[in-house]
Amino acid sequence: MSEPVGSRAGVGVGPWEGPWPDDPRYDPELLEHGDRRNVVDAYRYWSVEAILADLDTRRHGFHVAIENWEHDFNIGSVVRTANAFNAAAVHVVGRRRWNRRGAMVTDRYLHVRHHEDVAALTDWARDEGLPLLGIDNLPGAEPLETAELPAACVLVLGQEGPGLSDAARAACRTTLSIAQFGSTRSINAGAAAAIAMHAWVRRHAELA
């Protein structure tokens, strides 16, 4: 299934010119009407399913989990960033429903999974052999800037305001803090997630 086309006329490309390609990755509707989606040029005219399958061949080793006890509006932003860095998956812990507006349709291109509570996430991570690493500016937290992030792990974020729940703190192997130099006590949860993901990318991603 393709995304709606034509809603962002200044973005992307118009209808395909010339004979249509016979590559099954291309979406006939996009070829006919143009591709106005927010995707990189290499994926122009590809179907959602084809893009997802291609991304699955080169997912990175980190997952992102975010707690959702109070309908955190940052989840959409976290999902969008996780797509940009090609995370293995995003895990929503707590309420199943979340505001997808901030994701800008990027949730179609990665795997978003739900866990009823922290215990369920912990059981899943243990079965997968993945350590849980909390991201929160808590007393005694290890600086993210100097931490050695594992090649395979789950970056766990609390929701805006309260941060990681007590259950999440207890479940995490360690908690990593992000250095701050101003007057505010904390940064936006979506921004913190982006910083943590980029820290993993700098250590492990094949930048070429």
Say if residue 162's pLDDT is above 90: no
Token reading at 62: 């980190």
Q: What is the pLDDT of residue 143?
A: 98
Q: Would you state the pLDDT for residue 185? A: 85
- Rounded to an integer, the average pLDDT of 101-116 is 96
Single pTM value for the model: 0.92
pLDDT in tens, 59-103: 999 999 999 988 778 999 999 999 999 999 999 999 999 989 999
Task: Output the pLDDT for position 9.
Answer: 52
What average pLDDT does the chain have? 93
**Residue 143 CB burial class (10 angstroms; 0-12, 13-18, ≥19):** exposed
Q: Is the pLDDT of residue 2 over 90?
A: no
Chain segment 172-191, per-residue pLDDT in tens = 999 999 999 999 988 999 99
DSSP 58: T
**Phi, psi of 77, deg, nearest 5:** -65, -40
